[in-house]
Amino acid sequence: MATSDLKLLGTWACPYVNRAQLALKVKSIEYEFVEDIPYKKSEMLLKYNPVHKKIPVLIHSDKPVCESLVIVQYVDDAWATGPSILPSDPYDRALARFWVAYIDDKWYPLVKVLREAEGEEERRELVQKVSEGLVLLEDAFVRCSKGKDFFGGDSIGYLDIVLGSCLGWLRVTEIVVEVALLDRTKTPRLAEWADRFSSDDAVKDVLPETEKLLELHRKIQDFLKAA
């Protein structure tokens, strides 16, 4: 479905931007992607998100929608066509929102800290915490999926988009710390879900390649060391 008055301001490597892209892709909504260089605060970004001054920003008929989770929910509400992203059942919706909050507030921040940690003891502790979080998310998958392929059931939903957007940087972190965090022996169903999610037609063209993310990570680390 073509939507000529729809723009997404963001950058390819940002998982929060990827969430907005995934929501639009799931709904088969066409849009213009406007690449924004992080940390430079373009005039367009300052115009449409003067409060937080962060990407992503969805611009619909010159009206901005900011913050990744708000954008995903807005896309689901604004376009009735295509599969629903948020569960229709009130309890299932509340459960999905609970686990999304856990991912954003507790689990994913640890992945970034682990990727940048240098001390061996600190890394071991963080690996343990990230792995324990994945075990919890394995249990959440069993509860939310109800035996189907995705957290959202038969199709990609809200929780799939949020956790799935983290997969690229999770894989980079595994390479950096040389540990298989998404362990198929400890979290087999979650590992299978990650494979299904990554190979889905709505996802393949959105999630950045691990090699490109790893290259970006190394450039950022080199820059920080030089500074």
Quick one: pLDDT at residue 40? 84
Provide the pLDDT for residue 1.
Answer: 44
Domain extent for 32 = 6-78
Residues of the chain with pLDDT under 70: 1-4
Q: In this predicted model, what pLDDT tens digit does every residue of 141-167 receive, in sequence order?
A: 999 999 999 999 999 999 999 999 999
| CATH code of the domain covering residue 157 | 1.20.1050.10
pLDDT at 3: 52
Does residue 46 share a domain with residue 128? Answer: no
CA angle 21, 214, 18 (to 5 degrees): 10
Domain finish residue from 25, 43, 78: 78
What's this model's pTM, rounded to 2 decimal places? 0.95
Between CA 219 and CA 227 the distance in angstroms is 12
DSSP H helices in the chain: 15-26, 43-48, 68-78, 90-102, 108-116, 120-145, 158-164, 167-177, 188-199, 210-226
Mark 80-93 as b/e (b = at least 16 C-beta within 10 Å): eebebbbbeeeebe
